[in-house]
Structure 1
Amino acid sequence: METASFSGLLRSLVIIVLVYYALRYIMRLLAPVIVQQVVKKAEQSIYQRQQNTQDQYQQQSAAQDKAQERPAEKKKVGEYIDFEEIE
């Protein structure tokens, strides 16, 4: 079994620092692209919701137009009976 050495510790710290700075650099390059994709997806989602809302509104207005075109039928409750008074 090997014991830890100062050079091994130093080597590990250098590798960790290099990986950290490399990831920072890569994220600076990729962050605008990632943000752009997120914004684009949000725009599409909002556009689709707006289209769905407009479609529902058009369907409701079409249904109301059809209902308004037909005259409302009067309910037939029964026949009219003329009563005569008996004296």
Structure 2
Amino acid sequence: MLQEASVTGFVRTLLIILLIYFGIKIIGRLLTPFLMKYVSKKAEQRFGDQFGQFQNRGQREKPAKEGEVTIDKMPKTKASNKDVGDYVDYEEID
């Protein structure tokens, strides 16, 4: 039982595919601004939450007394290798 494809069936399928393609394209253009607003609001909220953590950290710590020194972060110590080479003093010759 072999069926042949008709020209009208092919044209109908082609029109349905084009209709779906252009429908998605139009709906995408209509929904893109709303999607961008949603994404930007979420990003702004995340950045605000992270910024709020830094602001609240200063309020949680007890205030330092006058004249007291506090170190928030220790500097990284760089290990230098003294056996790198010899220092050669030179003189300019005119």
TM range (shorter): 0.5 to 0.7
What are the residue-to-residue correspondences of 1:3-82 with 2, within 5 Å?
3-60=4-61, 62=62, 65=64, 68=68
- Residues paired across the two proteins, number: 65
- The sequence identity of aligned pairs, in percent, is 37
Partners of 1:26 and 1:3 in 2: CA distance? 36
Partners of 2:11 and 2:23 in 1: CA distance? 18
**1:3: how far off?**
2.1
Structure 1 length-normalised TM: 0.65
Residue type of the alignment partner of 1:42: A
**1:32: how far off?**
0.3
Structure with greater proportional helix content:
1
Partners of 2:4 and 2:53 in 1: CA distance? 67
**1:27: how far off?**
0.8
**1:56: how far off?**
1.7
**1:4: how far off?**
1.5
SS at match of 1:21: helix
Deviations along 1:16-55, one digit per CA (max 9) or x if unpaired, are 0011111111111110000000001110111011001111
Flag as ranges the 4+ runs of structure 1 deviating above 3 A: none
Structure 2 length-normalised TM: 0.61
